[in-house]
Amino acid sequence: MAEHVAVLVTEATASDVCFVHVLDEARRRLVLMGATPPFTDLSGTVELGLGEGVAGWVALHAEPAIVADKWQDDRYVYIPALRGEDYESLVSVPLLGRGQHVVGVINVHARKPRRYGDHDVALLAQVGNLLARTIENARLYERLAVREQMLEQFAARTIDAQELERRRLAGEIHDGISQRLISLWYHLQAAGASASDPAALTRELAAAEDLTSAALDEARRAIAGLRPSVLDDLGLGPSLESLAHSVAGLEVDVDVAPCRLPAHVEVALYRIAQEALQNVMKHAAAGRVSVRLSTTAAGGVRLVVEDDGVGFKPAEAAAGANRAGDPSYGLVGMRERAELVGATLQLISAAGTGTRVEVELPAPAPAPTPAPSSRQRSTTRAE
């Protein structure tokens, strides 16, 4: 698309060559993505920093630049691959997308000295804005495709996690609750047979009472593992306090601000904190862990789980391997949970420096105000 636009622009402005640069916002660099012959093979290989060269200046200031003699312009940067010595004059115009947001820059060059005029700038601006919308739509489509792929992967992992959780619960019920209930049944049978022996009857009933209490405790733990009731009753803050204080063998620091969020968001943040704390207990060899929940100045929410443990290399975790070399979806699942509720997750760690998991949820967009109906408008006029 960029190459086709470059050819059309060159013909429309009676220029000799055209370059279309697209802004990589993450790296703050302009990348050549389209050009007229003989430069078509250079797409993706030539870059300029934001503010570097005439094109970089245009991208930084979001305004066009007309250069009659580029050798006399301090902004010009010579790039051997683009053979700047063959061209004297140029005009550079920003590609402006929605909200006048700079998406890239389009440059046309002339071999002979030439003063480009307002008509050339207007033409390039119109073409550039159309191209900017095309680039933005392509990026939105790509993000949507990535998000759909993430949703599919998350759904698959959710099913796997559900099956693992069912097996874990089945094992807990079989090995714990069921065994205690069987023992309880035998003690009650023995108590019934000991009606004539008060001491034996008292002993068997006491054992039955202990087994009943233990079975109830195990049932409560199993239910809390599925969904903590405190999350429904009191909200995210108290749930995080309860979760943090359940960590054994560590000094725990908890600081949570009161806030209520949609139920699915609270569950996501709770599960992220739960996974982060489990990782601390399993891998960090830490002496202290802190859990902080706060509101941001912009009206969002920030969750931080930080430990003073041995740390690790996030690049290895991103590759999907734990210390044992086995597949591990814990960190991936945390990131996916965050992104599915519109939050961002940062994982900061290095060997010997501990680990910091930070989740930031932006403030919800304000709901659109519905336009008053014709009946409401007429009532207002009557009043």
Residues 122 and 170 both lie in one domain = no
Least confident span in 129-143, 220-234, 297-311: 220-234
Same domain, 291 and 350: yes
Residues 168-222 have pLDDT tens digits of 677 767 777 778 788 888 888 888 888 788 888 888 888 888 888 888 877 776 7
34 and 12, same structural domain? Answer: yes
Q: Of 111, 145, 179, which residue sits at a domain end?
A: 145
Residues of the chain above pLDDT 70, percent: 86
Residue 94 sits at φ, ψ, to 5 deg, of -75, 145
Q: How many independent structural domains does the chain possess?
A: 3
Within-domain flag for 377: no
Q: Which helix (H) or strand (E) holds 33?
A: strand 29-35
**The pLDDT value given to residue 375:** 44
95/11 same-domain check: yes
Residue 206 lies in a domain: yes
Clarify whether residues 81 and 164 are in a common domain.
no
First to last CA, the chain: 57
> Are residues 6 and 122 part of one domain?
yes
Q: How far apart are CA 98 and CA 133, in angstroms?
A: 7
Domain boundary among 125, 145, 165: 145
When pLDDT is cut at 50, 70 and 90, the band that residue 248 belongs to is: confident
Kindly state whether residue 114 falls inside one of the protein's structural domains: yes
Same domain, yes or no: 28 and 125: yes
Tell whether 375 is covered by a domain. Answer: no
Give me the domain span that covers residue 164. Answer: 147-226
Look over the chain and give the mean of its residue pLDDT values, rounded to a whole number.
82
Torsion, Cα of 9, 10, 11, 12 (10° steps):
40
pLDDT at 299: 85
Q: Is the pLDDT of residue 321 over 50?
A: no
Q: In what order do the strands lie in the sheet with 89-96?
A: 47-49, 29-35, 17-24, 102-110, 89-96, 65-67
**What per-residue confidence (pLDDT) applies to 303?**
95
Chain-centre distance for alpha carbon 218: 36
Residue 376 has what pLDDT? 43
